[in-house]
């Protein structure tokens, strides 16, 4: 934001309030997108959107690696770990580890819907180190176990 001098304290407060409100709206919007499907949001800050898409692409490229870490993400994006943490937290409200887990879970959900792999295979293909941990994370995110999610799919969607 830019405010010309001289400015009144009320104008400064209003501008700060507006910026904070906009940032909260962006955070809620991205958090809501992660819970359903991750699509681009063209109405929001373009730089934030590009950053999130780059992060997502790196995570998907290295998804099978159970040792995917913030350090690897930082190296791939040529950024510092601290900067990635701050940026992801500011834009999405999630830590980098939670963001990576969410991307993996959304990919697992997509793979379950496609029906090309068994659920245990999907857990390992998305980088989870054990089937039980995958099932636990999936149930926490989507409210049902992966097998229950598969059973609820309509026959034509597979």
* DSSP one-letter string for 81-138: HHHHHHHHHHHHSS-HHHHHHHHHHHHHHHHHHHTSS-HHHHHHHTT-S-HHHHHHHH
**Does 22 have pLDDT greater than 90?**
no
Task: Specify the fold of 9-157.
Answer: Arc Repressor Mutant, subunit A (1.10.10)
What are the φ and ψ backbone dihedral angles of 151, each rounded to 5 degrees? -65, -30
Task: Report the pLDDT averaged over residues 35-59.
Answer: 69
Q: Residues with Cβ < 8 Å from 100, sequence gap 6 or more?
A: 59, 68, 73
- In angstroms, the Cα distances linking 56 to 5, 37, 43, 62, 104 are 41, 12, 19, 10, 9
Asked whether 129 and 101 are in contact (CB, 8 A), the reply is no
106's tokens: 């959304």
Check residue 4 and report its DSSP letter. Answer: P
Asked whether 69 and 61 are in contact (CB, 8 A), the reply is no
pLDDT digit string, tens, across residues 109-144:
999 998 889 998 999 999 888 899 999 999 998 889
**Does 32 have pLDDT greater than 60?**
no
**For the whole prediction, is pTM greater than 0.75?**
no
**First CA to last CA across the chain, in angstroms?**
48
**Does 30 have pLDDT greater than 90?**
no
pLDDT digit string, tens, across residues 141-150:
888 999 999 8
**Does 37 have pLDDT greater than 50?**
no
């Amino acid at each position: 934001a830019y405010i010309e001098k001289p400015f009144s304290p009320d104008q400064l407060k209003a501008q700060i309030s507006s910026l904070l409100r906009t940032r909260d709206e962006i955070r809620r919007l991205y958090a809501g997108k992660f819970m359903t499907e991750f699509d681009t949001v063209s109405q929001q800050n373009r730089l934030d959107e590009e950053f999130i898409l780059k992060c997502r692409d790196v995570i998907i490229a290295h998804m099978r690696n159970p040792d995917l870490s913030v350090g690897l993400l930082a190296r791939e994006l040529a950024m510092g770990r601290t900067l990635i943490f701050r940026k992801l937290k500011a834009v999405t409200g999630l830590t980098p580890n939670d963001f990576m887990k969410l991307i993996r879970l959304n990919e697992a959900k997509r793979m379950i819907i496609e029906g090309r792999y068994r659920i245990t295979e999907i857990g390992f293909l998305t980088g989870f180190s054990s089937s039980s941990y995958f099932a636990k994370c999936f149930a926490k995110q989507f409210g049902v176990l992966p097998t229950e999610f598969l059973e609820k799919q309509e026959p034509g969607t597979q």
